[in-house]
């Protein structure tokens, strides 16, 4: 996140593209075009190779670009003040002004690198692993609780008890019927014997 009061990096790149084109444009209008055109190309190439939203090549990071910006600003000042290559005074003045603009933009820009995506992916995987571990522990706890509940549950009464009682009732009923039959047979036999004795 950009710090307070700092320009976003895409604004920094856009401003450097504009200043680089201004260098080249001034060079083409000057009677001594080589130095300003070369400096303009250097400014554009530097911002085009930095990793950012408006980059063309994305070769080096923003921290390296910050260092190279300082080098380019110093190079522009030296090129404008050097006496070896002939430059008209108007072009020298414009180059110094553009160098000052570059320095101002450089000081007001934010070069903070964005968070690395790999770290975000690792954090997401760690969160998923933690969630899966928590779910596994919860499932194991539920299984243990169900097992304990099944062990402590009272056993259901078996069906043999009523069967036994009914069979016992049936046996007792049979024995009562047999006893009654024997008693009736005795009475019948006694009556028959009494009748025979009376008749004889």
Range in 17-21, 48-52, 179-183 the model is least confident about? 179-183
DSSP state of 1: -
Reported residue count of the chain is: 200
Q: What is the mean pLDDT of the chain?
A: 80
- Output 134 or 163, whichever has higher pLDDT: 134
Range in 18-22, 29-33, 47-51, 134-138 the model is least confident about? 134-138
Q: Which pLDDT value is given to residue 2? A: 47
- Output 34 or 159, whichever has higher pLDDT: 34
Q: Which pLDDT value is given to residue 127? A: 85
* SS3 state at 59: coil
Task: State the SS3 of 77-114.
Answer: HHHHHCCCCCCCHHHHHHHHHHHHHHHHHHHHECCCCC
**Segment 80-85 long-range contacts (CB within 8 Å, at least 24 positions apart):** 80/35, 85/32, 85/34, 85/35
Whole-model pTM: value is 0.55
Enumerate the domain spans of the chain: 12-108
Q: Which pLDDT value is given to residue 1? A: 46
């Amino acid at each position: 996140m950009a710090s307070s009061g700092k320009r976003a990096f895409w604004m920094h790149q856009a401003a450097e593209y504009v200043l680089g084109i201004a260098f080249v444009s001034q060079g083409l209008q000057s009677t001594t075009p080589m130095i300003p055109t070369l400096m303009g190309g250097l400014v554009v190439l530097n911002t085009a190779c930095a990793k950012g939203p408006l980059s063309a090549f994305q070769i080096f990071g923003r921290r390296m670009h910050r260092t190279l910006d300082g080098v380019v600003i110093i190079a522009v000042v030296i090129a404008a003040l050097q006496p070896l290559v002939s430059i008209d005074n108007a072009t020298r003045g414009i180059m110094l002004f553009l160098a000052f603009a570059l320095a101002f933009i450089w000081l007001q820009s934010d070069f903070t690198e964005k968070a690395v995506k790999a770290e975000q992916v690792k954090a997401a995987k760690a969160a998923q692993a933690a969630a899966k571990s928590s779910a596994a522990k919860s499932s194991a706890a539920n299984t243990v609780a169900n097992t304990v509940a099944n062990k402590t549950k009272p056993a259901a009464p078996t069906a043999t008890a009523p069967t036994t009682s009914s069979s016992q009732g049936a046996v007792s009923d049979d024995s009562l019927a047999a006893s009654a039959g024997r008693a009736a047979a005795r009475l019948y036999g006694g009556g028959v014997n009494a009748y025979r004795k009376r008749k004889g």
